[in-house]
Structure 1
């Protein structure tokens, strides 16, 4: 049987759900809204993918998260993190941050005056149960290899350098103009992808910067029309979830 025959691909344009706080701006992408027959703004354990912008010399003051897993992916620039545990961490292209904010985690974020403008993704994953122990992970990540998917987080016990407490795997790729790869796929998982930079074609559908796709029940190649950066999530849509996170409800 052709593995492409039963699949469904749903495209979403750039989100119109945004917040503008001057030097800090956010665009909220809700993967469940890609699917026309889905009644949840999230998609299983993946609650939202937030495109965040911070100007130089910006402070997001100390605040608490509860009952959500927050992942900061910074492909360029720096995001500086301080928290209630005394950690002072720098997240950048070589290091990734996961806050497993179960029973509660306090933190603040900043850029310095001589830091470059920052554009990053902050990913919110729903845990399977409430009030899990809180912890933080800050780990070096492998250097990217052109035109190859890089596995950056997954469920506990996966081969990724960081973990979240639910059935979501996260990948990124730098895909050169004219190159083609298959989207990540696995049995029992659906694939949500987001174009961070560039323009790609999946099947016969084009996706530009800040557009996203949801692939249900199948495999599909993706080709770059220009040099592109993509992220992709393998999601178990039937995984148990809670919906009481501070942001990722």
Structure 2
């Protein structure tokens, strides 16, 4: 059965310097029916005030993807990386056996707006790693591969049998939703307005796809969306 995770039902954190919406259980938002889907554990839409951010903290056994939508982030980690992430770029930190990092708003006057995505690797431990790449240009309503597992040929390499795609459709475009046996699919609408099978989709909505074949997403406005294709 396909479920729509409505943006208005997301969890919410507001600390003053951070405003965050949680598609799945995270921090103080705990819902036993929303503990992730397949390898996808976290989708947080974060907004950080100027000059603020996440001070140094640790992670292990998780692949963490960051996609900047507006503003810039300054990243530092215990692997020695000191980089800036801008819109149009995606960062992937595979925490492995453990890594510490910080993510700070790189501006003293403008907020930073980004997605933070956690994906469960197929195996725990291993050496941590850092990757960063420009997001490949998406062609209309079609899906463009952003990250994948071994042999997928993606710019970013995940430690799971998972593929992450991006679509950047224009109004009037149609985007298909692939469904394959033994796979799980989740679609996250980043922005824009669309329809599927008579249901309205807007920025922040998620589509947890079951085994049934769905019609294409029909875009009312231009937009952006992510698709997660997962083995488990």
Provide TM-score, normalisation by structure 1: 0.82
In structure 1, the residue matched to 2:225 is 230
Consecutive unaligned residues of structure 1, counting only runs of 5 or more, are 1-7, 32-37, 238-249
Confirm or deny that 1:202 pairs with 2:225.
Answer: no
In structure 2, the residue matched to 1:29 is 23
Cα RMSD between the aligned structures?
A: 2.1
In structure 2, the residue matched to 1:98 is 92
> Does the aligned pair in 2 maintain the 1:184–1:232 contact within 8 Å?
no
> Does the aligned pair in 2 maintain the 1:89–1:138 contact within 8 Å?
no
Confirm or deny that 1:137 pairs with 2:128.
Answer: no
Tell me by how many angstroms 1:55 deviates.
2.0
Larger RCO (CA under 8 A, 6+ residues apart): 1
Give CA-to-partner distance per residue, 1:22-65, whole Å, 9 cap, x none: 1122211129xxxxxx9661212111111111122113211111
* DSSP-derived class of the 1:75 partner: strand
* DSSP-derived class of the 2:20 partner: strand
Partners of 1:181 and 1:144 in 2: CA distance: 12
Confirm or deny that 1:175 pairs with 2:150.
Answer: no
Confirm or deny that 1:13 pairs with 2:9.
Answer: no
Tell me by how many angstroms 1:92 deviates.
2.2
In structure 1, the residue matched to 2:142 is 148
Aligned residue among 149, 157, 165 for 1:163: 157
Tell me by how many angstroms 1:222 deviates.
0.4
Partners of 1:159 and 1:235 in 2: CA distance: 16
> Does the aligned pair in 2 maintain the 1:78–1:115 contact within 8 Å?
no
Q: Which moved more, 1:187-196 or 1:95-104?
A: 187-196
* DSSP-derived class of the 2:168 partner: strand
Partners of 2:104 and 2:3 in 1: CA distance: 36
In structure 2, the residue matched to 1:117 is 111
In structure 2, the residue matched to 1:4 is none
* DSSP-derived class of the 2:57 partner: strand
Provide TM-score, normalisation by structure 2: 0.88
> Does the aligned pair in 2 maintain the 1:77–1:115 contact within 8 Å?
no
Distance 1:158 1:128, change over 3 A: same
In structure 2, the residue matched to 1:52 is 46
Aligned residue among 186, 190, 194 for 2:184: 190
